[in-house]
Amino acid sequence: MPQKHHKDARKTPNNLEKEEPTMDLRNSGTLLAKGGMLATGLALMVSGAAADEHATRDGGWIGNVPGGEEHLLGQTKSGLDMLIENSFDVLQDKRVGLVTNHTAFTRDNVHIIDVLWEAPEVDLVALFAPEHGIRGDEDRPVGDTTDEETGLFIYSLYGQTRRPTPEMFEDLDVVVFDMQDIGTRFYTYISTMAYCMEEAANQGIEVVVLDRPNPIGGTKVEGAVSTAEDLFGGFTSVRPIATRHGMTVGELALMFNEEWGGIGCDLTVVEMENWRRWMYFDQTGLHWEHPSPNMKTMNGAILYPGPGTGETTMLSTGRGLDRPFEKYGAPYMDGRAVAENLANRDTPGVRFVPTTFVPTAPYHRYRHEECGGVFVIVYDRERLNSVQAGLHMFQAMYETHPEQYTATGGFRTSMGNGEVWGMLTEQGKTPEEILEFLQPDLAEFMDIRENYLIY
């Protein structure tokens, strides 16, 4: 089936000019736009020296901006914005099912449900919600419901089923996917996208993916590639891709449609404008909503593919607090001893400092128990290899608490390799040796990935 990229259409009179945003690095990294945009939760933990060195220039974090591209800071338009500028041409005269959640806003901070419902060119007939629900506030399976504003039925794809059934799609001509991903293999929104593409292919229904930025950038590719047959195909590892894949949802859709047997649906990717691979989300100027209840900060997103994998070990990741995935610990853990172990390791871009915390999120380990552990401070995200930092942290915790600190069965799936835990612990391999062991599969993935990069 054909695959299409869709961009650079004529601008409509409704296209509003936006003033360039400004970022106050000393105000928890919150991105403020003079035109009224508020991108919350993008906390950048930087030292005073780093903040001075990489101060704002005409509206953005400039530490990694290539020369001559500063004018692109804060100017990204999502696939949704481009769909509007193109007068909804790929949706006209079609019955539309929308797979989305609370993150799908335009630059003007209008949600996609409102955009499509109010557009006379679009016949929006059904909604589909991923993990965490249509509002992004659930941390457990959710049921079907009805949207209060439009009266549209909302099918849950994280309840009785995680795959759309044939009956859910039977009255549709096209399925539209629009939600903010995080850039890590085991973040499940891309699995929902793949499952919807598969069912659409079965029924001969078109799929339109509205592209959005990879919030942790599109240049770094890290970690294991889940090539073993028992490590991919499930909900947290839908395809054999790198832990930190460095791709947008649109690029992943193109890849999923062709590789590993190929889904083969009739796919259109509506591309972004003014996004570059070097950009992190806090450089786009787009509206930020926490993609899930505990994905609250930029640093949490950057650490998610590395230390965040520790959620499948006997750790709390600080869920329910203000900075989840930046704090790691357990009731049995001596945070000072772990931090001292880590101080003797080479972990560029991050520091580990001892801390205590009490996680509060329901359904997660050590709720309401005081945990000792470490707070991971990202002071240079360009130098950081998140997966490497995570391996060092896990090994330090094991060396400090070899009896209590163990992995659960989910570690091999999240890590993407069944041998890594044993190499870190019983075998005493260094994280650098483990990364070298993982490199051949990563290099092969990079070759495949290159064929699907849009930007």
- Summarize pLDDT for 126-135 with one digit per residue, the tens: 999 999 989 8
Asked whether residue 195 carries a pLDDT value surpassing 80, the answer given is yes
- What's the pLDDT band for 2 if we cut at 50, 70, 90? low
Dump pLDDT digits (tens) for 351-401.
Answer: 999 999 999 999 899 999 999 999 999 999 999 999 999 999 999 999 999
**DSSP secondary structure letters along 163-231:** S--HHHHTT-SEEEEE----SBTT-THHHHHHHHHHHHHHHT-EEEEE----TT-SS--EEEE--SGGG
Mean pLDDT computed over 60-70: 80
* Second CATH level (architecture) for the domain 76-291: 3-Layer(aba) Sandwich (3.40)
What residue has token string 């106050």? Answer: 24
Q: Of residues 197 and 133, which shows the higher confidence score?
A: 197
Per the DSSP assignment, residues forming a β-bridge with 187 are none
450 Cβ neighbours under 8 A, 6+ residues apart: none
Burial of 32 (0-12, 13-18, 19+ CB in 10 A): middle
Lowest model confidence (mean pLDDT) among 129-143, 286-300, 374-388 = 129-143
Identify the burial level of 64 via C-beta atoms within 10 angstroms of its C-beta, where 0-12 means exposed, 13-18 middle and 19 or more buried.
middle
Rounded Cα gap, residues 302 and 144, in angstroms? 32
Query: Quick one: average pLDDT of 69-77?
Result: 96
Q: What are 302's strand-pairing partners?
A: none
**CA atoms within 13 Å, Cβ hemisphere of 144:** 12
Residue 39 has pLDDT above 90, yes or no: no
- Domain ranges for the chain, please list them: 76-291, 298-446
More confident residue, 338 or 15: 338
What's the whole-number mean pLDDT along residues 56-71? Answer: 70
pLDDT at 90 over 60: yes
| Fold of domain 298-446 | Aspartate Aminotransferase, domain 1 (3.90.1150)
pTM for this predicted structure: 0.87
> Among 259-263, 290-294, 311-315, whose mean pLDDT is lowest?
290-294
pLDDT at 222 over 80: yes
Which two tokens mark 419?
A: 């041998």
CA dihedral 261, 266, 270, 276 (to 10 degrees): 20
Q: Supply the pLDDT for residue 387.
A: 98
pLDDT category of residue 15 using cuts at 50, 70 and 90: very low
Q: What is the pLDDT confidence band of residue 14, given thresholds at 50, 70 and 90?
A: very low
Evaluate if residue 18 carries a pLDDT over 90.
no
Which pLDDT belongs to residue 336? 98
Q: What is the C-alpha separation between 6 and 88, in angstroms, rounded?
A: 11
Banded model confidence at residue 233, pLDDT cuts 50, 70, 90: confident
Q: Do the Cβ atoms of 344 and 326 come closer than 8 Å?
A: no
- pLDDT tens by residue, 328-340: 999 999 999 999 9
Instruction: DSSP for 261-297, please give it.
Output: T----EEEEE--BS--TT--GGGT------SSTT--S
Examine domains 76-291 and 298-446 and report if their fold is the same: no
Asked if the model's pLDDT at residue 113 lies above 80, the reply is yes
Exposed/middle/buried for residue 148 (C-beta within 10 Å: 0-12, 13-18, 19+): exposed
| Phi, psi dihedral angles at 10 (to 5 degrees) | -65, 150
Confidence of residue 228 (pLDDT cuts 50, 70, 90): confident
**What pLDDT is stored for residue 54 in this prediction?**
43
Overall average pLDDT of the 82-92 stretch:
98
To 10 degrees, the CA torsion angle through 385, 390, 395, 401?
Answer: 150
Give the rounded percent of residues in the chain with a pLDDT score beyond 70: 86
DSSP assigned state of 17:
P
